[in-house]
């Protein structure tokens, strides 16, 4: 049995060197005096601290240290039940004179008895994680409590990724970053912190990936070898040193396991994967109606219009400005029947106004945040002076949820949460002494700041759920903490209309995806300033391949609609928004895999090939789902670019040319083209062109079959697109098994679920067939096919429930 016998070579003596650069102000654990085991949990007591080690699974071990006194109550917003269970298939404990050794079938944790420092090795005895100074702490003299730190050994070729929405380079090696969400208007690649707080990073060492989730909501810091090039550290200004070590061994598996740990997302309504048009702000009603009509008359597909803060009466949440929108219900109903959904913005600040019911309810029930000595906190935001609900109080969340009844009754289809870092004019955010309930663990804003926005999004989604019956909610939030994916999608905040920001948007969406938050997008075209037609077109081309696809702008510098830049751009933009709709079954299936297996929807190259050093540093190229490789154009005036093709064989999406990976190539990309490749063996489902989701019955599903000379499995998922009927078997899961040789190609289908698709047949388009076929047989019968000379593709129609097809 692996792990039963300690391998002596790595267990000898104090295998970790001593460090003499310890400072007097720093405290360290010393000799273990006691230990005990409770099922999958181990407690090691030294004089000043206890280390709790929980083996949560074969790949996940949690480390948690008390400082002096007992452990805090084990509560987390990221992990609903941190202590509930373990699914480790076996846990083996052993001891030497110097070490405690805890092994799973995948990893082994060695803990030094002299000082609690530990390291983790995999089955090949490769060290993945190793304390250098390890855990230590300092007094937090101003507020009480401790600054808790962990310092670990950094090897020369270690690489680091993830950490939420950081706009810096994708690879974090050599950077020091901080989590303390702020409203960073016009941030740039050097800005830090920005909006989101995701204390999770991925490390790659000798092609093996691991993750560390530091579940601490205080202001936290991550230094990936900036201060010293042989150590990396993470620390926080309070709370516990509490982290989960996650072994991949691939980077994608690290993200998957982290996402399962912090909670899988929900299936969104399919319309939310369509195109969204937004501006600060579209009003009054006539402008909104005209916008909608323009989309339809120009035949540019669009599903969603966002109403920014000016729809409200004096920025009072849950109200309408009656002059601008005299009858929201009939407006929304008309727009709905023309295929538009309406999303309204809701900020946290509640206007101090004694005639305002939300204010009154909040005040009467003590739902608003208070300063430490008792007075309510007053802060200025759009409505003027406001009070702010304490979203970390379950009663307040419940109340907040109830407030959505009116908007949902008016027909609103989704909610946009902004300013929830929280942002306050002048001061920036709340004073630190503000008190929060923290679900029964009263604390100051120092602890609640980084989760405030996530708890608002949570209450917002629950509110929609309450009033939407069988329909799916949709929330988008600017602030986030780890686990936000359970409740909401996100966008990357107030970016700028520049080429540099198109590049940053690409990095941020990839990074969010690696951080468990796949449902992300940027303000296409930039929030601040105006793009020119070329930049906007290139950004739309990128946005087509991001899970959240929205144009938004501050509105200060003119309009930004698909037709703003003239007809030559409009033609290309229309084509790309159409492409998004054609790709919907592919994107929806990719989302289903994210929901079901926690698979990140976007994968950076570091997630595709950990063996390839080139992939550690590339950040323009990325994959959407299992099959699309994309590389945006990030410069003006070019007709193509160099891009890196990772391992494997890929078809150029536009030309069908087959290229092999692990090489840099030149790709032509005039303004009408964004470099896109499709993985060999892929089966890509395509819908007919449509103006919005549900516009018409889908009369056929096209499957683009990229043939291969190997065996490949593809999965396509469909359901009603907006209800919960899938929970009762109303879905259609198509598994397609491709098997190719140099003389034949076979496709086997297994369909699961009871959802009756509206189309009777598939249109099949075969790409990349090199042999001269004679017969196409479907379930034993010969059927007709056509050869397209120019495209070198074969086309045929088959019953959607076919079992086997053989092309030879």
308 vs 410, beta carbon nearer ligand MIG: 308
CB 465, min distance to ligand MIG, A: 24
What is the rounded CA–CA span in Å between residue 125 and residue 111?
Answer: 15
CB 280, min distance to ligand MIG, A: 4
- The residue sitting closest to ligand MIG, measured at its beta carbon, is 280
CB 419, min distance to ligand MIG, A: 6
Structure tokens at 82: 């941190």
728 by DSSP, 3-state: which? helix
For residue 449, which phi and psi values (nearest 5 degrees)?
Answer: -50, -50
DSSP character for 378? -
Q: How many CA atoms lie within 13 A of 791 on its CB side?
A: 15
418 vs 578, beta carbon nearer ligand MIG: 418
Q: Which of 767, 797, 765, 189 is nearest to 507 (CA)?
A: 189
For residue 124, which phi and psi values (nearest 5 degrees)?
Answer: -95, 15
280 vs 467, beta carbon nearer ligand MIG: 280
Number of neighbouring beta carbons within 10 Å of residue 671: 17
What is the rounded CA–CA span in Å between residue 624 and residue 626?
Answer: 7
CB 647, min distance to ligand MIG, A: 39
494 vs 609, beta carbon nearer ligand MIG: 494
CB 430, min distance to ligand MIG, A: 16
CB 95, min distance to ligand MIG, A: 55
Q: Which of 16, 50, 14, 30 is nearest to 132 (CA)?
A: 16
Q: Which residues are catalytic?
A: 418, 421, 494
What is the rounded CA–CA span in Å between residue 210 and residue 516?
Answer: 14
555 vs 694, beta carbon nearer ligand MIG: 555
CA distances from 207 to 249, 289, 664 (A): 8, 54, 21
CB 308, min distance to ligand MIG, A: 5
428 vs 760, beta carbon nearer ligand MIG: 428
Number of neighbouring beta carbons within 10 Å of residue 229: 12
186 vs 753, beta carbon nearer ligand MIG: 186
Write out the residues near ligand MIG by the rule CB under 6 A: 280, 308-309, 345, 418-419, 478, 493-494, 527, 552
CB 418, min distance to ligand MIG, A: 5
CB 183, min distance to ligand MIG, A: 7
556 vs 711, beta carbon nearer ligand MIG: 556
Strand pairing report for 220-223 and 176-179: antiparallel
CB 494, min distance to ligand MIG, A: 5
Q: 104 near 89, Cβ under 8 Å?
A: yes
Within 684-757, residue ranges assigned H as helices are none
419 vs 482, beta carbon nearer ligand MIG: 419
**Sheet order of strands, 622-624 included:** 602-604, 622-624, 628-630, 676-679, 649-652, 658-660
DSSP character for 9? G
CA distances from 101 to 85, 110, 112, 245, 307 (A): 21, 5, 9, 16, 57
DSSP character for 424? B
What is the rounded CA–CA span in Å between residue 747 and residue 551?
Answer: 39
For residue 7, which phi and psi values (nearest 5 degrees)?
Answer: -80, 110
378 vs 662, beta carbon nearer ligand MIG: 378
What is the rounded CA–CA span in Å between residue 614 and residue 33?
Answer: 48
Q: Which of 768, 621, 762, 795 is nearest to 686 (CA)?
A: 762
Q: Is the peptide bond before 422 cis (omega within 30 degrees of 0)?
A: yes
319 vs 361, beta carbon nearer ligand MIG: 319
Angle at 518 between CA 208 and CA 392, to 5 degrees: 105
CB 472, min distance to ligand MIG, A: 23
Angle at 742 between CA 737 and CA 745, to 5 degrees: 30
Q: Which of 515, 506, 497, 608 is nearest to 555 (CA)?
A: 497
DSSP character for 515? T
Q: Which of 32, 152, 50, 143 is nearest to 95 (CA)?
A: 32
CB 417, min distance to ligand MIG, A: 10
312 vs 514, beta carbon nearer ligand MIG: 312
**Which H or E element spans position 603?**
strand 602-604
DSSP β-bridge partners for residue 316: 313
DSSP β-bridge partners for residue 664: 644
Computed from CA positions of residues 173, 176, 181, 183, in that sequence, does the dihedral angle turn out positive or negative?
A: negative
């Amino acid at each position: 049995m692996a792990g039963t016998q300690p391998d002596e070579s790595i267990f000898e003596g104090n295998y970790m060197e001593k460090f003499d650069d310890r400072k007097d102000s720093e405290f360290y654990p010393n000799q273990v005096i006691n230990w005990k085991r409770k099922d999958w949990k181990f407690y090691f007591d030294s004089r000043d601290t206890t280390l709790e080690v929980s083996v949560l699974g074969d790949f996940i071990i949690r480390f948690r240290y008390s400082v002096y006194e007992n452990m805090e109550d084990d509560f987390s917003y990221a992990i609903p039940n941190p202590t509930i269970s373990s699914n480790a298939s076996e846990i083996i404990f052993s001891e030497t004179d110097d070490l405690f050794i805890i092994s799973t079938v995948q990893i082994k944790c060695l803990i030094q008895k002299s000082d609690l420092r530990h390291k983790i090795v995999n089955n090949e005895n490769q060290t993945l994680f190793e304390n250098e100074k390890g855990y230590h702490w300092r007094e937090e003299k101003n507020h009480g409590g401790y600054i808790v730190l962990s310092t670990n050994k950094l090897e020369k070729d270690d690489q680091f990724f993830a950490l939420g929405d950081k706009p810096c380079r994708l690879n974090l090696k050599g950077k020091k970053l901080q989590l303390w969400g702020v409203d960073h208007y016009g941030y740039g690649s050097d800005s830090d912190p920005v909006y989101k707080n995701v204390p999770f990073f991925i490390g790659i060492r000798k092609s093996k990936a691991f993750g560390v989730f530091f579940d601490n909501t205080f202001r936290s810091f991550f230094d990936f070898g900036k201060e010293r090039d042989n150590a990396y550290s993470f620390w926080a200004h309070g709370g516990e040193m509490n982290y989960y070590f996650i072994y991949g061994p691939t980077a994608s598996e690290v993200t998957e396991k982290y996402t399962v740990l912090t909670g899988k997302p929900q299936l969104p309504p399919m319309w939310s994967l369509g195109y969204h048009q937004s501006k600060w702000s579209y009003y009054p009603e006539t402008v909104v109606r005209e916008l909608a009509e323009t989309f339809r008359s120009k035949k540019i597909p669009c599903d969603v219009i966002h109403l920014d803060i000016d729809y409200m009466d004096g920025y009072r949440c849950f109200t309408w400005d009656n002059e601008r929108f005299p009858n929201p219900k009939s407006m929304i109903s008309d727009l709905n029947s023309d295929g538009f959904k309406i999303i309204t913005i809701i900020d946290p600040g509640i206007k101090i106004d004694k005639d305002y019911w939300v204010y009154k309810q909040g005040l009467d029930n003590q739902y608003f945040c208070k300063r430490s000595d008792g007075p309510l906190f007053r802060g200025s935001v759009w409505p003027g002076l406001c009070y702010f609900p304490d979203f970390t109080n379950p009663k307040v969340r419940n109340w907040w949820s109830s407030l959505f009844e009116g908007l949902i009754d008016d027909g609103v289809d989704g909610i946009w949460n902004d300013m929830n870092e929280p942002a306050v004019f002048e001061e920036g955010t709340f004073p630190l002494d503000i008190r929060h309930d923290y679900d029964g663990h009263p604390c100051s804003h120092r602890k609640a700041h980084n989760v405030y926005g996530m708890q608002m999004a949570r209450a917002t989604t629950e509110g929609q759920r309450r009033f939407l019956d069988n329909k799916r909610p949709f929330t988008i939030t600017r602030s986030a903490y780890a686990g936000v994916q359970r409740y909401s999608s996100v966008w990357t905040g107030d970016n700028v209309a520049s080429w540099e920001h198109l590049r940053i948007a690409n990095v941020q969406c990839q990074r969010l995806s690696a951080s468990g938050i796949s449902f992300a997008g940027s303000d296409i075209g930039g929030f601040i300033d105006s793009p020119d037609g070329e930049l906007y077109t290139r950004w739309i081309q990128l946005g087509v391949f991001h899970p959240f696809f929205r144009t938004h702008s501050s509105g200060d510098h003119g309009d930004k609609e698909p037709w703003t830049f003239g007809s030559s751009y409009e033609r290309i933009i229309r084509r790309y928004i159409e492409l998004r709709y054609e790709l919907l079954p592919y994107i929806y299936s990719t989302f289903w895999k994210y929901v079901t297996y926690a698979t990140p929807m976007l994968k950076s190259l570091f997630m595709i090939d950990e063996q390839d050093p080139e992939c550690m540093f590339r950040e323009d190229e990325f994959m959407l789902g299992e099959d699309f490789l994309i590389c945006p154009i990030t410069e003006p005036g070019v007709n193509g670019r160099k891009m890196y093709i990772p391992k494997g064989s890929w078809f150029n999406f536009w030309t069908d040319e087959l290229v092999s990976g692990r090489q840099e190539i030149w790709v032509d990309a005039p303004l009408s083209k964004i470099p896109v490749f499709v993985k060999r063996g892929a089966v890509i489902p395509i819908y007919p062109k449509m103006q919005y989701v549900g516009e018409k019955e889908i009369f056929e599903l096209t499957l683009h079959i990229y043939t291969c000379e190997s065996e490949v499995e593809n999965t396509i998922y469909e359901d009603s697109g907006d209800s919960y009927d899938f929970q009762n078997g109303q879905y259609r899961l198509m598994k397609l098994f491709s098997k190719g040789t140099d003389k034949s190609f076979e496709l086997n289908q297994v369909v699961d679920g009871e959802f009756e698709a509206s189309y009777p047949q598939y249109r099949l388009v075969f790409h990349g067939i090199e042999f001269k076929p004679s017969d196409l047989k479907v379930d034993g019968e010969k059927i007709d096919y056509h050869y397209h000379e120019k495209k070198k593709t074969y086309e045929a129609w088959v019953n959607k429930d076919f079992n086997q097809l053989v092309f030879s």
